[in-house]
Amino acid sequence: MWKELGKFGMGPPSGGGGDQQPGRGGGRQSPLGRNPLIWILVIGAILIYTQMDGSGSLFGPMDQSHVSRMAVSPDQVVGDFELVDHTGTPRTDEDFHGTFSLYYFGFTWCPDVCPSAMLVMTQVVEDLEAQGKTVQPIFVTVDPQRDTVEKLAAYVAQLPGLIGLTGSDVQVAQALQSFGITRRSQADGPDDTSYQVDHTSLFYLMGPDGTFIQHYLPTQGPTQIALEIERELTG
Ligand code: NI
């Protein structure tokens, strides 16, 4: 990086005092203009900022509240659950065997990262459909206290075919553990109804036999994810 920027005159000071170019006559310059290190820091910060969010900064950078790591190793993902869907019907993982399913775990109150991920999911499902491939999209709440059946029903209406799953605190806790999803409520006591929930933000591809195949980061973007899933569905 140092070398690259050096080509454009913004490299580090070299040999005899680098940034003091002859011919400028020692005129007054702003610190930004004079110090190449500051430029490098500024450019570095911009690069880091834009790299952090693969969705093109529409939803802001991914923050600490959304973890992009599974809590268990891939071979420990079981994917069992007994939950209730957005129509109030009890569902288990076995209801979704026989087809590939794409799971995301989040909460409907999430202001940025979850909506962004669900947009990616929508695009992935549509991309795959265009290739004649079917995956069942499923949204599992990490926040069953607020994500009631009614709340989920409104949420899943945004993507045709999307199944929303919630349940009792215990049911949801068991489901999340079975997938290796972590979540931590930021609620300030029982009266707080506008709290955030820190949680794992990943897509899980599950096979027709219910076994875990692969996980994807929403920041990979829909094109890349659809491509990788298509490979799994074909291979
Ligand atoms: Ni979220």
pLDDT in tens, 29-61: 555 556 666 656 665 665 445 444 443 334 444
Look at the block and give the residue holding tokens 């989920």: 152
Please indicate, yes or no, whether residues 136 and 22 belong to a single structural domain of this protein. Answer: no
CA 116 to ligand 1 centroid distance, Å: 9
Please indicate, yes or no, whether residues 135 and 21 belong to a single structural domain of this protein. Answer: no
Residue ranges making up the domain that contains 229: 66-188+195-234
Mean pLDDT confidence for 173-195: 94
Most confident of 12-16, 21-25, 30-34, 73-77: 73-77
Please indicate, yes or no, whether residues 120 and 26 belong to a single structural domain of this protein. Answer: no
CA 183 to ligand 1 centroid distance, Å: 10
In whole angstroms, give the CA distance from residue 87 to residue 101.
19
In whole angstroms, give the CA distance from residue 212 to residue 17.
58
**Do residues 199 and 217 lie in contact, with contact meaning Cβ atoms separated by under 8 Å?**
no
CA 5 to ligand 1 centroid distance, Å: 37
CA 146 to ligand 1 centroid distance, Å: 14
In a domain, 60, yes or no: no
CA 21 to ligand 1 centroid distance, Å: 50
Please indicate, yes or no, whether residues 43 and 105 belong to a single structural domain of this protein. Answer: no
In whole angstroms, give the CA distance from residue 214 to residue 110.
24
Instruction: CATH number of the domain at 70, please.
Output: 3.40.30.10
CA 199 to ligand 1 centroid distance, Å: 6
CA 78 to ligand 1 centroid distance, Å: 22
Look at the block and give the residue holding tokens 């829909």: 222
Mean pLDDT confidence for 142-155: 97
- What pLDDT score was predicted for residue 68? 87
- Non-local (6+) Cβ contacts of 89 within 8 A are none
3-state secondary structure of 1: coil
CA 196 to ligand 1 centroid distance, Å: 8
CA 87 to ligand 1 centroid distance, Å: 22
Q: Which long-range contacts (CB under 8 A, 24 or more apart) does 217-220 make?
A: 217/54, 217/68, 218/54, 218/55, 218/104, 218/113, 218/116, 218/117, 218/120, 218/121, 219/52, 219/53, 219/54, 219/55, 219/62, 219/68, 220/54
CA 15 to ligand 1 centroid distance, Å: 50
CA 49 to ligand 1 centroid distance, Å: 19
| Strand order, beta sheet including 66-67 | 66-67, 197-200, 183-185
pLDDT in tens, 207-226: 999 999 999 999 999 999 99
CA 144 to ligand 1 centroid distance, Å: 14
- What pLDDT score was predicted for residue 163? 98
Please indicate, yes or no, whether residues 48 and 96 belong to a single structural domain of this protein. Answer: no
Percent of the chain's residues with pLDDT above 70:
73
Please indicate, yes or no, whether residues 219 and 165 belong to a single structural domain of this protein. Answer: yes
In a domain, 57, yes or no: no
- Nearest Cα neighbor of 105 from 96, 97, 113 is 113
CA 31, chain centre distance (Å): 38
pLDDT in tens, 88-111: 999 999 999 999 999 999 999 999
**Do residues 207 and 233 lie in contact, with contact meaning Cβ atoms separated by under 8 Å?**
no
3-state secondary structure of 90: strand
Please indicate, yes or no, whether residues 74 and 141 belong to a single structural domain of this protein. Answer: yes
